[in-house]
Amino acid sequence: MAHKLQLRVVTPERPVYEGEVDAVVVPAHDGELGILPRHARLLAALGVGELRATDAGGVRRYFVAGGFVQVRDNRVMVLCDRAARLEDLDVPAAEAQAAAARAEHSPDAAWLQRCAAATRRVAAHTTAPPRARQTNTH
């Protein structure tokens, strides 16, 4: 019997994804974290970037920012401040939100600026040709 992970991605506003997957890669605060079935229990702070969930249908990609990831008994719970499917990313809106926060001297300005920059990076990575998306192979 093949083992699967139960993945839930939730923001304060709504559940973003819930389903069975083969593997998950999340942007932890200090780098990417790969999670496979039977992973040890884990609680980690999320960073800002791309979450990838792999299943038989391919790879689902989400932009996530802030929050935590918990792994326990083949269940992965991602509780994040923000999440959106990559297809739904609105880079100009993210940049406008960051600019407005800076203009208002909001305490969230730096965080929103990091989100806007990560949104640009993730969107650029998604639209790059497949060869350009390859990672280090050694």
CATH of the domain at 78: 2.60.15.10
CB 7 within 8 A of CB 76: yes
* CA–CA separation, 96 and 113 (whole Å): 10
Answer yes or no: are the C-beta atoms of 63 and 87 closer than 8 Å: no
> Which letter does DSSP use for residue 90 in this model?
-
C-beta separation of 24 from 8 below 8 A: no
Q: Is the pLDDT of residue 57 over 50?
A: yes
- On whether residue 138 sits in a domain, the answer given is no
Same domain, 96 and 75: no
- Alpha-carbon gap, residue 13 to 44, rounded angstroms: 21
Same domain? 72 vs 103: no
79/96 same-domain check: no
Name the pTM for this structure: 0.73
Domain holding 23, by residue range, is 5-86
Query: Given a cut of 60, is residue 135 above it in pLDDT?
Result: no
- Across the range 75-89, mean pLDDT stands at 88
**Does position 39 have pLDDT exceeding 90, yes or no?**
yes
55 and 112 belong to one structural domain: no
CB atoms within 10 A of CB 106: 14
Per DSSP, the three-state class of 29 is coil
Q: What pLDDT sits at residue 93?
A: 73
